[in-house]
Chain A
């Protein structure tokens, strides 16, 4: 069989699809179901973000409150193991620039995780 014959055979035998009136209806139903799932996922994500922000604000307020109480009512504690504590304090003082790096790293990491956009399928 020549190339021309093959081309004419293929062009003359182009498959015809049956008319399917329910095809688009079924697609629409499936898309509606997808929309329902998407809106539910979005709702849950919003709720999660609100809970996260609320936890952060409450934590911050409680911290401020605790500091305020400590500042108002200072308590003198007996000096137990003061040498060890002063050693730790001096170690922190001398290595504070290195301690800040992992803290900043954690902050950036958390910021990226919570601030990222939703993942695309395609």
Chain B
């Protein structure tokens, strides 16, 4: 796959991908964008192995979710570079507003298990089918339905 073709395909998916990761990262847009970029680079490197057996977006979301899981596995305390004060960014006013607006939602999502959170985000925010979610999260459809049901029950008790 050429670079131009890849960028063209990504252009149509970037908003959806960034929203998926934004919800998983509890509203931290800079972290979500970093993971999204990491996922896109990985996808480009592996684009030769994309056989078209699933939709491009499903394949891309699967890589992005794996990148997100890799991020979770990383140790939390990393040494900051010496020029850290310059690199620390203050969230913009829009970002702060957005975080405040969705605070209740992110708090509720934060209390779910990772798989439940991913299932909820993909089903309700990205309007993905159970089959697509199963392909993205690499689990059987029945397990997706189970996680969806338990996630709804958990959210019900959290939001009461």
User: In which size bucket is the chain A interface?
Assistant: 20 to 34
CB of A17 within 8 A of CB of B124, answer no
On whether the beta carbons of B46 and A122 are closer than 8 Å, the reply is yes
Minimum Cβ distance to chain A for residue B109 (Å)? 9
Counting contact residues on chain B (CB < 8 A from A), the size range is 35 or more
In contact, B45 and A6 (Cβ under 8 angstroms): no
The answer to whether B46 and A121 touch across the interface, beta carbons within 8 angstroms, is yes
**Is B56 an interface residue, CB under 8 A from the partner?**
no
Which A residues touch B11, using CB under 8 A? 24
Q: Given A31-B3, A122-B49, answer yes or no on A13-B159 (Cβ-Cβ < 8 Å).
A: no
Interface of B (DSSP majority class): helix
In the bound assembly, the distance between CA atoms of A120 and B42 in angstroms comes to 11
Asked whether any CB of chain B lies closer than 8 Å to the CB of A20, the reply is: yes
| B63 CB, min distance to chain A CBs, angstroms | 7
Contact with B along A15-27 (1 / 0, CB 8 A): 1111010011011
Once A and B bind, how many residue pairs between them come within 8 Å at the CB atom? 92
New A-B pairs, 19, CB < 8 Å, besides A120-B46, A122-B63: A1-B159, A1-B160, A3-B156, A6-B159, A7-B124, A7-B152, A10-B120, A15-B98, A16-B98, A17-B15, A18-B92, A20-B18, A24-B10, A24-B14, A27-B41, A30-B37, A121-B42, A121-B45, A122-B42
List 20 A–B pairs whose Cβ atoms lie within 8 Å, in order of A's numbering: A1-B159, A6-B156, A9-B159, A13-B105, A14-B19, A15-B22, A15-B23, A15-B98, A15-B102, A18-B95, A18-B98, A24-B7, A28-B3, A28-B7, A31-B44, A34-B44, A121-B42, A121-B46, A121-B49, A122-B46
